[in-house]
Chain A
């Protein structure tokens, strides 16, 4: 108060201080509002687009808004979703994991191979191998400071090589003999048509949210992605957190592969090519910034479902080929990242 009353006479022609304060307050309020809307759009944009597309699909196609179609979209999305949960952690930490596609296939082949020895082995072997793979990648990234892009690119080649070795250069397709394991991928509780992988996905997503939002580990992941040097200075265990994040990513990719092998009753060796790009696209569409530090599981789940719905919509238009589907996905991804970029720039996030 004293500050403004003493400065007014000096300024001479300035407007009365009260009016100026009001203006400033209104301006600030507008700014806050804009920021909130921007953040909302950036974090929940995928959810909104998803809602719009679902409404559009229901109006435009009779066969779209059916329980069968919804179930098939959700079931087929669940495998991508499991991998995307791990990728969300990796990308929030400022990294990237290109090895998940190969680990997904490797996990499937290992699960089918190990299913000869029972359900437990069928799950344990892919988890152990893929988790170890992720661990090694994490250690290399955390300890040598090499770019995650390159380390996981090498991991992608290495994991695919390992898969080829396990399947005798892709010539052997292991069939899942174990009934209980196959049932894990093909049946579900409550008679809803939703299979076990869907429930596992939901559980993992909730667990991921808890980890990210409610634990010190989650805080560390955000801190490293926001500013690694600052995080290190603040005493965040950078190396340990990174190693954990890549291990998780490997584990989840292996789990998704194993569940998929259970669904297909075999470890198919030709899957997973380009899968890492689908996963990254889903995470990015879900509002997680590739620069790190910003994002969350809810957005990722919306991103995965969004991609599933787009695919389903394209399937409804029978004449469109998978090529057109690629064009649409690419254009869509481009639009989303442009919008994200503009929104985050408006908010001052760089």
Chain B
């Protein structure tokens, strides 16, 4: 009797863990939403909802690129500094109009991504060190370009940060479009398959003739451009360029969102929608803790616990 009871029990545990790995982050977001609807006053207020969404968009956009990078078994620590650089570049070129300025900012992001990507793909430097050097250097460069907080009055850029279309902030629309685009790239394109294959087994990918180095390079360029987009949007919303503090610790938030969303750090699998959910979860969590007057110290410790629990649930187990 005991034997029979033990076996299904073990199976159930496996099944629960597998289910958690697959849908845990969705369940957690749902649970938090329900909790907030029941216990947080004014949570369903449209203004509050919109604020939460607008706040989470830079993290979502950066996390999309990070998900690709982590999918290749890499990591990109430079994203926060790239956001700062984009913020600096966009105000420097604002004299030529909003569009050229934004184009220059995205170009700057692409160049930083290309430098990091080349170091990783062609020189063979470990991603964490290559992008660590960029994290330090690029933040400095952004500060050299724009030493102090600089406000601007360009109406187009301000509109990009503040206006809504049919009640949905433009920023949120951009994030949604980018999410769909990256999801499409991952699921439906050869490039996306290459990314996942490289993360799964780089040596095998090389042997089977995949363009490993080029793919790696492009992945880091995409991450750089997405970080730059996030930097431009954040700057547009702030109506000021602030290279000293913009995007500080963004790399950690983005990595957290990706990992909590079910993409393993060991690469080989990318969860795009899970990543968005991961970002939403962390945002909702800190908003909930703040709304219920928990101090920041507790917020950080709870976040740490959530990260550990999520990674524990989604880690690669012997069965796979």
Of the residues A140, A281, A342, contact of B136 by C-beta under 8 Å: A281
**Contact at B147–A337, with CB atoms within 8 Å?**
no
* Contact across chains for A153 and B307 when beta carbons are under 8 A apart: yes
How close is A24's CB to chain B, nearest CB, in angstroms? Answer: 30
Interchain CA distance A231-B123 in the complex, whole Å: 28
Report chain A residues within 8 Å CB of B132: 277, 280-281, 333
Q: Looking at the assembled complex, report how far the CB atom of A144 sits from the nearest CB atom of chain B, in whole angstroms.
A: 6
Q: Give the docked Cα–Cα distance between A334 and B296 (Å).
A: 35
**Could you tell me the dominant secondary structure of chain A's interface residues?**
helix
**Interface contact B265-A154, CB-CB below 8 Å:** no
Interface string of A160-198 (1 = CB under 8 A from B): 111111000100000000000000000000000000000
Q: Are B126 and A290 in contact (CB under 8 A)?
A: yes
With a cutoff of 8 Å between Cβ atoms, the chain A residues found around residue B295 in the complex are 164-165, 169
Contact of B252 among A153, A163, A290, A329 (CB under 8 A): A153
Question: How many contacts A-B (CB < 8 Å)?
Answer: 138
B300 contacts A158, C-beta separation under 8 Å: yes
Interface readout for B285-320 with A: 1 if CB under 8 Å, 0 if not?
000000000011111110111011001100100000
A155 to B311, CA, bound (A): 13
The reply to whether A165 and B137 contact each other, CB–CB distance below 8 Å, is no
Q: Quick check: which of B5-13, B54-62, B138-146, B228-236 contacts chain A, the rest being far away?
A: B138-146
Interface residues of A in 250-266 (CB under 8 A from B): none
Are A157 and B301 within 8 A (Cβ)? Answer: yes
Question: Is A234's beta carbon under 8 Å from chain B?
Answer: no
Q: Return B243 CB to nearest CB of chain A, in Å.
A: 9
Any chain B CB within 8 A of the CB of A147? yes
Q: Which of B133, B298, B300, B311 contacts A147 (CB 8 A)?
A: B311
Contacts A149-B265, A337-B125, A342-B123: A154 and B304 contacting too (C-beta < 8 A)?
A: yes
Closest chain B residue, CB of each to CB of A327: B140
Interface residues of B, count at CB 8 A:
43
Is A341's beta carbon under 8 Å from chain B?
yes
Q: CB of A145 within 8 A of chain B?
A: yes
The interface on chain A, measured as residues whose beta carbon lies within 8 A of the other chain's beta carbons, has a size of 46
Residues of B within 8 A of A19 (CB): none
Q: Is B304 a contact partner of A158 (Cβ separation < 8 A)? A: yes
Q: A334-B119, A338-B119, A341-B124 are in contact. Are A154 and B307 (CB under 8 A)?
A: yes
Q: How far is the CA of A151 from the CA of B34 in the complex (A)?
A: 29
Report A139 CB to chain B, min CB distance, Å. Answer: 12
Q: Which B residues between 107 and 125 are near A, CB-CB below 8 angstroms?
A: 119, 123-125
| Cβ contact within 8 Å between A330 and B308 | no
- Let me know if B137 and A334 touch, CB within 8 A: yes
User: Pick the contact of A150 from B133, B139, B307 — CB < 8 Å?
Assistant: B307
Residue of B nearest to A278 (CB): B136
Q: Is A96 an interface residue (CB 8 A)?
A: yes
9 smallest CB-CB distances across A and B, nearest first, come from A330-B137, A326-B140, A161-B300, A323-B143, A164-B297, A161-B301, A158-B304, A165-B297, A327-B140
